Structure 1
Amino acid sequence: MTELPVLVSESSGVGRLVLNRPKAINALNDEMVDLMAAALRRWRDDDSVRAVVLSGAGERGLCAGGDIVSIHRDAKALVESGAGDEEAAACPSAVFWREEYQLNSEIAKFPKPYVALMDGIVMGGGVGVSAHANTRVVTDRTRLAMPETGIGFVPDVGGTHLLSQITDNIGVYLGLTAGSINGADAVALGIADHYIPAADLDAFVTAIEATSVDEALARFTQTPPPSELDAQRGWIREAFAADTVAGIIDRCAAVGTEAADKAAATLRAKSPTTLAVTLRALRNPLPTLDDSLHREYRVSLRCVRSHDMAEGIRAQVIDKDRNPGWDPAEIDAVTAADVDAFFAPLPDDLELTIVGD
């Protein structure tokens, strides 16, 4: 019998969710989201379950995101057919996003300790199932990122909500450049709560089962090493304060350091439209995670039927030529109206609905 893509179990009052697609770095699919949601809904009202622990199978990471190949298939078909919002909302990727964003919301509201072991690669959808948890544990192996702008997409799964709360424009920097951070960075920036060496994770979970989450954290949490990204706050705060992507690139170039030059080069290579839409979202944060997910769904639908998402995935994942042909190709060619279109309301029957508690 083929193993399920999420292993669901209970032991000593602790519910275990193990993402179980290690060859794909546990990338999320519809079945995984359904299995997680069903378990959490059962456990939230089960008095015999006092805590939940999320982890990933294999040695490479918790979760590398979603199924990019299937998203490319939808995007390519929608672009070739000239589809609108209604057709986009009916595609498999949109159905997945509706279920995934609902799960993100339920994780954030889960009433018991939900311990996310953010070990190894934690990207995109992996951030969505972990960084909204009430107990977020990173390790010496953590590599966390919202890499969406690298494929002509915009941070989703509540990513705009998380990034907009990081001070000194570091969230803007990470959202635009799609840069990855380590465990020490994540704690310093407030994206994670506790730092535990990867070698101690099994013993940590055993301690949760034997005692409690608080006692296990007290025993195994360590002070993280200094954050290298935190040390760069000064130039990032100033350079990424510009009102436009072009202005940010100019400010990065003016800084003149290796890190700032790299940031400028990274931005020049990305989809101008994607960057402008991401900047708009991060500069205009919404009050709650659910509000952000609602807006992100609108943006995601517009992305999946846009030229740049189909082209970005083609260049990075399908053909791997790393040479996307963006349209428009120049940052100055992206108009305010172009950006507005990504955020425009959908027909009422197409809008994302977050089911209440």
Structure 2
Amino acid sequence: MDIETTQDGHLGHILLNRPKALNALTHDMVRHLDAALQAWEADETIQAVLISGAGERGLCAGGDIRSIYEDIRQGGGAATAAFWRDEYLLNAWIAHYGKPYVALMDGLVMGGGVGVSAHGSVRVVTERTKLAMPETGIGLIPDVGGTFLLSRAPGDIGLHLALTGMAIGAGDAIACGLADHFVPSADLPAFQRSAAAHGVTAALAAHAVPAPEGILPEQRSWIDVCYAGESVPEIVEQLLEIGESAAKEAAEQIAAKSPTALRVTLRSIRRAGLLGSLEAALDQEYRVSCRALRHPDLEEGIRAQVIDKDRSPRWAPAASAAEVDAFFAPLGDKELGLS
């Protein structure tokens, strides 16, 4: 089974079990996760839920990108749109789950992995955590509620992460509001046993320790200046001119991404910052993601990064202002409809 559910004392445990695929989410996995959460929310013997990933490499590296590529080529993206619908509904439910939802964000946590962890009420990172929303590198935008989360990070750090797709460690994940507690990876089995036997609060008291310092808070001196630009080209120009090596590196990372995805991501993050709820941001993300299925950069980005692995995507020219606007247009009777 790609998802295993077990009960240990008063703790319901969800194990994402595709270690060879970095526990990448499929539609069936989303359905099984949803069913387990429904059953456990109504089960009085379950006091908390914990989610973790099988294998040594991480919780979850995102959605099954290869299947999205095949669906675009063979089915026009219909199956992917259906998958995203159920995934985004699940993300919203996790954010409001009626019992403590504990995510062990050990190792890689990317894309859809952020969606099944960072909306939880108890988010645990380790010294092995590498968290990222790298969607612009395949011609997509941060989704699964990522625009909502990133728009609420201090200053313009969230926009920096969204445009570059860079991975961050435990200290920065906590500083950005994407995680809450640090537990050394070697202590996770004991933490889980303690949560099952004594409850989540007691487990945190016994095993959580101060996280290592992140690097992003001190970089706000140039991040907030550079990312105040009105457009992606302006942001890149400021990154190159400010005289910081990390800023130059960020400019180079941005330059490698889909020009259209970057423009839509900039608009998405700034709009999400003005939206009043996760649900409204998910509605916006669904519109944008469905439109991305019809843009050539998504297929090309997946081809370059996952299928052929030549790492040399041939991006389409950057979308015009009107074309960017079209990504946000309502979907009519196909709206996600959360807000």
After superposition, residues 140-219 of structure 1 pair within 5 angstroms as 140-219=127-206
Q: Is the 8 A contact 1:56 1:62 kept in 2?
A: yes
SS in 2 for 1:122: strand
* Structure 1 residue 268, shift from structure 2 partner: 1.4
> Structure 2 residue aligned with 1:326, among 293, 315, 334?
315
Matched, 1:105 2:92: yes
Aligned residue number for residue 13 of structure 2:
16
> Structure 2 residue aligned with 1:228, among 210, 215, 240?
215
Moved over 6 A (4+): none
Tell me which amino acid in the other structure corresponds to 2:17: N
Matched, 1:50 2:24: no
Provide the C-alpha distance between the structure 1 equivalents of 2:288 and 2:303, rounded to a whole number of angstroms: 20
Structure 2 unmatched ranges of 5 or more: none
Q: Is the 8 A contact 2:105 2:124 kept in 1?
A: yes
After superposition, residues 134-145 of structure 1 pair within 5 angstroms as 134-145=121-132
Q: Is the 8 A contact 2:59 2:104 kept in 1?
A: yes
* Structure 1 residue 229, shift from structure 2 partner: 2.0
Q: Is the 8 A contact 2:140 2:289 kept in 1?
A: yes
Q: Is the 8 A contact 2:5 2:13 kept in 1?
A: yes
> Structure 1 residue aligned with 2:270, among 266, 272, 283?
283
Aligned residue number for residue 351 of structure 1:
335
* Structure 1 residue 255, shift from structure 2 partner: 1.3
Q: Deviations over 1:264-311 (max 9, x none)?
A: 111112111100000001111221111111111111111111111111
Matched, 1:27 2:24: yes
After superposition, residues 294-333 of structure 1 pair within 5 angstroms as 294-328=283-317, 331=318
Q: Is the 8 A contact 1:71 1:304 kept in 2?
A: no
Tell me which amino acid in the other structure corresponds to 2:322: A
> Structure 1 residue aligned with 2:324, among 304, 325, 339?
339
Provide the C-alpha distance between the structure 1 equivalents of 2:235 and 2:74, rounded to a whole number of angstroms: 34
Q: Deviations over 1:52-103 (max 9, x none)?
A: 010001100000001111111223347xxxxxxxx65xx1111110111111
* Structure 1 residue 149, shift from structure 2 partner: 0.3
* Structure 1 residue 120, shift from structure 2 partner: 0.2
* TM-score computed with the length of structure 1 as normaliser: 0.92
Q: Is the 8 A contact 1:75 1:306 kept in 2?
A: no
> Structure 2 residue aligned with 1:6, among 3, 7, 21?
3
Provide the C-alpha distance between the structure 1 equivalents of 2:74 and 2:139, rounded to a whole number of angstroms: 16
* Structure 1 residue 105, shift from structure 2 partner: 0.9
> Structure 1 residue aligned with 2:224, among 226, 237, 241?
237
Aligned residue number for residue 84 of structure 1:
none
Q: Is the 8 A contact 2:191 2:203 kept in 1?
A: yes
Q: Deviations over 1:216-248 (max 9, x none)?
A: 101111101111222211111111111110110
SS in 1 for 2:50: strand
Provide the C-alpha distance between the structure 1 equivalents of 2:173 and 2:293, rounded to a whole number of angstroms: 29
> Structure 1 residue aligned with 2:35, among 38, 42, 63?
38
* Structure 1 residue 353, shift from structure 2 partner: 3.5
* Structure 1 residue 190, shift from structure 2 partner: 1.3
Provide the C-alpha distance between the structure 2 equivalents of 1:28 and 1:278, rounded to a whole number of angstroms: 22
* Structure 1 residue 167, shift from structure 2 partner: 1.6
Q: Deviations over 1:10-68 (max 9, x none)?
A: 11111000000011110000111111100101111211110001000110000000111
Q: Deviations over 1:301-331 (max 9, x none)?
A: 1111111111111111111111111110xx5
Provide the C-alpha distance between the structure 2 equivalents of 1:172 and 1:228, rounded to a whole number of angstroms: 16
Aligned residue number for residue 83 of structure 1:
none
SS in 1 for 2:186: helix
Q: Is the 8 A contact 2:149 2:177 kept in 1?
A: no
SS in 1 for 2:30: helix
Provide the C-alpha distance between the structure 1 equivalents of 2:138 and 2:243, rounded to a whole number of angstroms: 27
Provide the C-alpha distance between the structure 1 equivalents of 2:316 and 2:19, rounded to a whole number of angstroms: 35
SS in 2 for 1:130: coil
Tell me which amino acid in the other structure corresponds to 1:219: A
Provide the C-alpha distance between the structure 1 equivalents of 2:136 and 2:164, rounded to a whole number of angstroms: 7
Matched, 1:273 2:270: no
Tell me which amino acid in the other structure corresponds to 1:12: G
